Amino acid sequence: MSLSAWSLFCALSLITAFSPGPAVLLAVSNAATLGMRRALVSSAGNAAGVVLVSATAMLGLGALLKTSAWLFGALKLAGAVYLIYLGIRQWRNRTSVFDAASHAVGARAQPIARLFLQGLLVATTNPKSILFFTALLPQFMSSEVPVMRQFLVLTLTFAACTVISHLCYVGLVRGMGRWFASSARARLFNRLSGAMFVVLGVGLLRLRNNHAA
């Protein structure tokens, strides 16, 4: 892959990664309620999910997803249900974000493995992301270079862009800690982010597969 092609892929990856979506919202809500370190655990899970999604596309399952209506529907339903579940849980959270006691409670209630799995599930249960990789990766791959090498370069580049975007969003939330100190503002944030999760879940349910028979 030429440097110019890789630079273009980086630019597209950064634009996609910085676009607000379920993964970004999860990182922001975890940063506000659990702190920066724990938010990055879910971001690491999301990056791992990106690798799995990319591998899925490379194995040809992305093409199968395009043509199989029931597989597309099942994955879409799973992703939507999980996002709506996250939204309801966030809406019902009444703790004050950035409160020391709340940090301690939140840390015990959210084990590292569970946070990692959150990010992983958000990345892998969205059929739109699999279709995205199916359409994007072939545009930057060459028949003259080993497939595995290209897969690793492109996938790790996109995963790195994802982590960078989450770091920026998490840092922004961290810098607004004083604004969130009020319990009323904390509840407002929880309800807004919870509602956004639900909206994203409903939006995923409305996603149509124009290629499926």
User: pLDDT tens digits for 132-191?
Assistant: 777 677 667 776 777 788 888 888 998 899 899 888 888 877 777 666 656 677 677 778
Map 17-39 to HEC letters.
HHCCCHHHHHHHHHHHHHCHHHH
Output the six-digit token pair for 107.
């840390």
pLDDT at 44: 93
Selected residue with higher pLDDT from 44 and 9: 44
Domain boundaries in the chain? 22-205
Selected residue with higher pLDDT from 161 and 21: 161
Running DSSP on this structure, what letter comes out for residue 96?
A: P
pLDDT at 210: 56
For residue 145, how many C-alpha atoms fall within 13 Å in the half-sphere facing its CB? 13
pTM recorded for the entire structure: 0.66
Is residue 194 predicted with pLDDT exceeding 60?
A: yes
Q: Would the CA dihedral through 130, 20, 203, 48 be positive or negative?
A: positive
Is residue 79 predicted with pLDDT exceeding 80?
A: no
Is residue 39 predicted with pLDDT exceeding 90?
A: no
- Region 60-85: mean pLDDT is 75
